[in-house]
Amino acid sequence: MNIIWHKSTRQIHLCNRRISYIMYVQPNGELGQLYFGKKLHDKDDFTYLSYRGQKSHVCGEAASEDFSMELNRQEYPSFGGTDFGTPAYEISYADGSMIGKYTYVDHLIFKGKKPLPGLPATYGSEEEAMTVEITMHDELRNVYIVLSYTIFDDYPAIARSVRFINRSDNQIVLNRVLSLCMDLSDLNYEMIQFSGAWARERIPIVRKINSGITAVESRRGVSSANQNPFVILKRENTNEFVGEAIGFSFVYSGNFLAQADADTYGRLRFLMGIHPDGFKWPLSKDEEFSTPEVVMVYSDQGLNYLSQTYHKLYNKNLVRGVWKERPRPILLNNWEATFMNFTEADILKIAAKAKEAGAELFVLDDGWFGARDNDYAGLGDWVENTKKLPDGMKGLAKKINELGLEFGFWIEPEMVNPDSDLYRKHPDWSFSVPGRKPSLGRHQLVLDFSRKEVVDYIYNMLFKVIDGANIAYIKWDMNRTISECFSHEGGALKQGMIYHKYVLGVYSLYKRLITAFPDILFESCASGGARFDAGMLYYAPQAWCSDNTDAVDRLLIQTGTSYGYPVVSIGSHVSAVPNQQTGRSTPIDFRANVAYFGTFGYELDLNHISEEEFEQVKKQIMFMKENRELIQYGDFYRLITPYDNNMCAWMVVSEDKKKALFGCYVLRANVNAITARVKLCGLDPDAIYTIGNHSYFGDELMQVGVVLDARNAPGFTIGEDYKSIVLTINT
């Protein structure tokens, strides 16, 4: 990797073995974009890439026919100048003007990557990453903008963020501070967004880019189940295996905007960042503001390669702590088994059976604290309910440990029920508009985490429960979105800061807990997968993917999630049938075959299944223990996606290509069907692989495919509903 400054032409070229990113100082001093894509040879002058051939009405002070802010591609365009496209930022200055003009001052190239204050971000050592910070200045206003670009050595990836520094004597207000603007040179793209709702998260939707705006966003205070802060721009004929695509992943967990703006001259502008709605951030003299970062990945080998790049980059350069690159424990969670209605004896009985099956970790879900017997009460009171846990968390942890299991539990620290001691004591600690009745969601309100004292209070309560008990795991939930986001402490000028300060408060609590308890594995959750984003993965390396545990629906949800997030981050469990959300019954091997492709665990009482099924569960756990390293950290391929197909097929391959695992799923019976044949990927064409008792060359399996007949896949048939097979493929 390298970052080269061409002094004579004032061009900056970031490159590694795979990609090039080139920008330049335009004739008027503002920063322009020249190229992002597959690696190009370096040279002094790429200016010709900016020529557009059209005539603009406004040329700007450079007054050259070749140069126009409106026609040329920009790096970080302002509101109010001659660009006219969607601005990347907008600042209100003391005189009421919002018109900025930031010109190049200097730049700094260095090895490695700096952390972002208070924010999650990718990191990289001096061998892994290189950064350029470009300083832009508005002379009239004496405000600086520092654009930061990090290129990673091993990946076709660039991380970008922006810092604003006010050096003037006047207060300014940041109205809009997006993290990234990427101007592309043609409009021939489609956008893939990952959309849904509770229990149907992250289903890919492809939209053709057309003149005007194509956007997804969240104004819910969390990244949301409805739209994910990860989108892909791809060429029309790009598929899983071939073609160009660019991914944009926002390392942030709150309100966001991801917007493509196709102008009428063929310039496609893509922007991503904190949603400007409701955002106003004042900066006094010498104050700074840093945006969260966006990680861009370029692929010229289809969507699988794009996803694999995110998987590896996030596993190695975003996830941190002792759980980084470590296979995850096989757990049993009691939620769907008992809901909040349990005694300690019930819990121990469920845990003992989980141990007998071979599980490694028991997780006590909601209902252990305060007056929490249903979802009307108790949130905010993080003190053990001694009717349920007579010896507290410490006592239960000890008893579970004595059974031979690790122990973990559920929390929802950002919330309060009006029926709680915390709310009675501090009614002003939750969001609400003075003089109006606040809206409840699941009978609860959102605590004002923009206030340090609130975060401190919750931290201290949780610390007392965790400290001294032997806790291996915590599931951190967040079960309602934010509405009426008004802080009672704020004062008028601060109200535009609250959504973002809330997210910073959540990150600060995570940071304190992971620092105090570095060995604990955190799993994030938000009514299932309503906060499945790269920001959360920095603190909690896995996330409960969806409250919908139906294996058929999970094929769709987990496939969608895999586009932007590593397999090892996808919380996936086998649950009871008929499924609680869909009423559908699928065989237990089908449920496990789907749940293997994630963290794997169980969400039911194993005392309530047949002996025959229990024997199967034991084998499943053994299988996962043998294969989890490969599944969770191998190269993952979507071979057949379930959206327009009656089948789904996934595959993982070890880095050395010696081991692979292939999962194939049939949704509906297909009577008198043709024998299925699925082409595999990522194998060594010259190596000989065995499937059961049969051997094949890698090229056969990739060019011809694995034939799913009685010979290779005994028991698998597409003539029955919900049939599946997982095959191990070894050299």
Binding stretches for ligand GLA (CB under 6 A): 335, 365-366, 410, 477, 479, 525, 527-528, 544, 547
Is 419 a known active-site residue?
A: no
Is 477 a known active-site residue?
A: yes
Task: Output 477 or 605, the one with its CB closest to ligand GLA.
Answer: 477
Task: Output 410 or 600, the one with its CB closest to ligand GLA.
Answer: 410
Least separation in angstroms between residue 525's CB and ligand GLA is 5
Catalytic residue of the set 138, 547, 553, 589: 547
Query: What are φ and ψ of residue 651, in 5° steps?
Result: -155, 145
- Separation between Cα atoms, residue 217 and residue 660, nearest integer Å: 38
- For 66, other C-beta atoms within 10 Å of its C-beta total 15
Catalytic residue of the set 448, 477, 533, 589: 477
Query: What are φ and ψ of residue 503, in 5° steps?
Result: -60, -40
Task: Output 261 or 477, the one with its CB closest to ligand GLA.
Answer: 477
Angstrom CA distances, 498 to 86, 238, 488, 505, stand at 24, 40, 10, 10
Least separation in angstroms between residue 632's CB and ligand GLA is 21
Least separation in angstroms between residue 410's CB and ligand GLA is 5
CA dihedral 386, 388, 392, 393 (to 10 degrees): -150
- Separation between Cα atoms, residue 549 and residue 572, nearest integer Å: 8
The full DSSP string for 268-298 is EEEEEEE--TT--EEE-TT-EEEPPPEEEEE
Q: Nearest to residue 291, comparing CAs of 89, 94, 129?
A: 89
Task: Output 544 or 565, the one with its CB closest to ligand GLA.
Answer: 544
Least separation in angstroms between residue 332's CB and ligand GLA is 13
The full DSSP string for 628-650 is HHHHHHSEEEEEE-SSSSSEEEE
8 Å CB contact between 114 and 103: no
User: Phi-psi bin for 274: left (phi > 0), alpha (psi -120 to 50), beta?
Assistant: beta
Task: Output 441 or 587, the one with its CB closest to ligand GLA.
Answer: 441
Least separation in angstroms between residue 363's CB and ligand GLA is 9
Pull the structure tokens for residue 202: 């992250």
8 Å CB contact between 333 and 601: yes
E-state strands within 384-436: 406-411, 415-416
- Separation between Cα atoms, residue 674 and residue 554, nearest integer Å: 26
- Separation between Cα atoms, residue 601 and residue 597, nearest integer Å: 11
Nearest residue to ligand GLA on Cβ basis: 366
Task: Output 160 or 388, the one with its CB closest to ligand GLA.
Answer: 388
- For 688, other C-beta atoms within 10 Å of its C-beta total 12
Least separation in angstroms between residue 530's CB and ligand GLA is 8
Peptide bond into 27 cis (omega under 30): no
Least separation in angstroms between residue 573's CB and ligand GLA is 9
Least separation in angstroms between residue 478's CB and ligand GLA is 9
- Separation between Cα atoms, residue 658 and residue 682, nearest integer Å: 10
- Separation between Cα atoms, residue 432 and residue 446, nearest integer Å: 9
- Separation between Cα atoms, residue 343 and residue 348, nearest integer Å: 9
8 Å CB contact between 495 and 487: yes
Task: Output 314 or 409, the one with its CB closest to ligand GLA.
Answer: 409
Least separation in angstroms between residue 421's CB and ligand GLA is 19
Q: Where are the alpha helices (DSSP H) in 173-300?
A: none
8 Å CB contact between 366 and 374: no
Least separation in angstroms between residue 416's CB and ligand GLA is 14
8 Å CB contact between 329 and 323: no
- Separation between Cα atoms, residue 372 and residue 339, nearest integer Å: 11
Task: Output 474 or 520, the one with its CB closest to ligand GLA.
Answer: 474
Q: How far is CA 406 from the centre of its chain?
A: 27
Task: Output 340 or 383, the one with its CB closest to ligand GLA.
Answer: 340
Q: What angle (nearest 5°) sits at the alpha carbon of residue 464, between those of residues 450 and 528? A: 55
Task: Output 432 or 479, the one with its CB closest to ligand GLA.
Answer: 479
Residues known to be catalytic: 477, 547
